[in-house]
Amino acid sequence: MKLLILGATGPTGRHLLDQALNAGHDVTALVRNVNRLTTTHPRLAAVSGDATDAALLERAIRGRDAVLSALGAGNSLISDIASRAVAALVPALKTGTVRRIIFLSAFGVGESVTQASSMQKLIYRTLLRLIFADKAKADAMLRESGLDWTLVYPTALTNGPRTGDYRVGEHLVMKGIAKISRADVAEFMLAQLDTDEWIHRTAVVSY
């Protein structure tokens, strides 16, 4: 497939990019700083710019089959990148023929917090409160977009290996601080290109 990946230089996005290329996909990576894109490949094209720029997104989407977003807030606890990116992405997608969007959010966002353990809830409602509020806003826009969206809600992300052995569901029982590796999250996101199972659904992913 021909893919547009957002957030390809981030800690999860790098796994997404490498796995997509290894799987034989043609990838356009929209990144703010191309110098941070360390991967080189004949099937990789880099576009420099802001993922909140609707006009740029519209151009980058042309000729693509799907969009995968691993955009993150970095070390910020007050970033609104998720909602600003989705606000630009939805109209950009609607101007063309691309309908498929696989979007990385987080477990604990919105109603998923009700599934969390007591320890998780404490973190989500204090330290991550503002970030998660912005993600909830972005997720709501995607759910109302009319596009073929899948929202991916990983639990605490680690830099562990790709195992292929994880749980996926709309509701998972949590104990303590549940975790999942970024590599396994990337694997799950790419697997959605070949199935309709999680279209218009929120997938909680965890060990």
Residue 38: what pLDDT?
Answer: 87
Pick the closest to residue 161 from 179, 181, 177, 178 (CA basis).
Answer: 181
pLDDT above 90 as % of the chain: 86
In the prediction, which pLDDT does 76 show?
75
Q: What is the pLDDT of residue 179?
A: 96
Q: How does residue 77 score in pLDDT terms, banded at 50, 70 and 90? A: confident
> What value does the mean pLDDT take over residues 32-36?
90
- Residues whose CB falls within 8 Å of the CB of residue 159, separated by 6 or more in sequence, listed in order: 11, 181, 182
Mean per-residue pLDDT of the chain:
95
pLDDT at 47: 94
What gap in Å lies between CA 59 and CA 69, rounded to an integer?
Answer: 16
Q: Report the pLDDT value the prediction gives residue 52, as an integer from 0 to 100.
A: 94
State residue 155's pLDDT score. 96
CB atoms within 10 A of CB 103: 25
pLDDT 10s digits, 79-136: 899 999 999 999 999 888 899 999 999 999 999 999 999 889 999 999 899 999 999 9
Averaged over 27-44, what is the pLDDT? 93
The stretch 134-150 carries a mean pLDDT of 97
Among residues of the chain, what percentage have pLDDT more than 70?
Answer: 100
Indicate if the pLDDT at residue 153 is higher than 90: yes
pLDDT in tens, 44-76: 999 999 999 999 999 999 999 999 999 987 777
3-state secondary structure of 9: coil
For residue 121, what are the CA distances in angstroms to 16, 98, 137, 199? 28, 36, 19, 27
Report the predicted TM-score, pTM, of the whole model to 2 decimal places: 0.94
